[in-house]
Structure 1
């Protein structure tokens, strides 16, 4: 962990970054169960240290002092208050207070952030794993270091003062996208189950196109039905006209392969779309298929 201040006196302690404050509904999926009363109420956030933060007394003194000097929040707000920005060979390290005026603990699954310079121009963008921050207690202020990798940087020269670490509200969260036929056919419970599965899938790399198997079964007529999640990690829509697929079973044997004509099949930007591919019985290459585990892949 990088030290954010050294040899500072009480008289010249200050933050190098500015504050970014938003309504919690812009970041979290739901408002608090018990909204705070009185929109003009001021909430002074108490400092909270993540269990992994093992810092010395000097650094705690600095952080406590800076936190006590922060402006209060209004109810149901989330805020990022920049402390220190360091350049390293691997990218940027941004130390900031993550603040919440909610009356209950807050957790983030993913945290899209943008770093702006003193002219409000983009320095870097990155989506962080919110699980690493853990549970942020009610009405608290947690210091944290965000590591922007080198590849996330948009510019190299910028001021190290009056920058802003902000919630990237323009970021589109990865979501489930259903074709119209699926929307009409599936029940509300089935749709909710698919949403939950998509939420739990590993995060895609930037611009990654991924095929993840969901269900495979043999039909009574001998055809092989394979349902797949087609996952688009790009910020652009992807059209697929043909998809050559291969399925292997638990033993590693190829059990079916073939090409599928898709017309103008669209996978929207930053979405996961389920689709069922039907291999005719004539394309099945093996009897006694072991579907205790299986994989689907695109034939190169």
Structure 2
């Protein structure tokens, strides 16, 4: 059975309304994807430096652990590529049947187009 966990820093600092929203998205997307790993979007935003922040759930539906090591992620909006980058995140070692929220930060210099923050999708290669 899939369970939702939070990275330690997230668990200590997350606002209650954000926790509730994440739990709702977790429940809504439990069976959304037949792949062993899925990344349903929670939100996208830009920070004060113009970097793109893409917050998603990482669903590991598989029977083995999932790690992010030199994994290329692409963020698109309505099918148009906005940013693409390889990530290695040592903190993310998801056990089987576990989900966790995470924010991917794409530097402004890598943006191919200004994000509208609507119709977004995060995929990995």
TM-score category (smaller protein):
0.7 to 0.9
Aligned match of 1:284: 111
Aligned match of 1:298: 124
Question: Cα RMSD over matched residues?
Answer: 1.9
Q: TM-score, normalised by structure 1?
A: 0.39
The answer (yes or no) to whether the contact 1:243–1:261 under 8 Å persists in 2 is yes
The answer (yes or no) to whether the contact 1:234–1:269 under 8 Å persists in 2 is yes
Deviation at 1:202, TM superposition (A): 4.3
Q: Distance in 2 between matches of 1:270 and 1:246?
A: 24
Is 1:272–2:99 an aligned residue pair? Answer: yes
- Aligned positions of 1:181-260 closer than 5 A: 181-203=9-31, 204-205=33-34, 208-250=36-78, 252-260=79-87
Gaps of 5+ in 2: none
Higher relative CO (Cα under 8 Å, sequence separation at least 6) belongs to 2
Larger radius of gyration: 1
The answer (yes or no) to whether the contact 2:54–2:104 under 8 Å persists in 1 is yes
Structure with the bigger percentage of strand: 2
Gaps of 5+ in 1: 1-172
Q: TM-score, normalised by structure 2?
A: 0.86
Deviation at 1:197, TM superposition (A): 1.8
Partner of 1:297, secondary structure, is: strand
Deviation at 1:193, TM superposition (A): 2.7
Q: Distance in 1 between matches of 2:21 and 2:80?
A: 30
Pick closer, same or farther for the CA change 1:191–1:221 going to 2, 3 Å: same
The answer (yes or no) to whether the contact 2:69–2:90 under 8 Å persists in 1 is yes
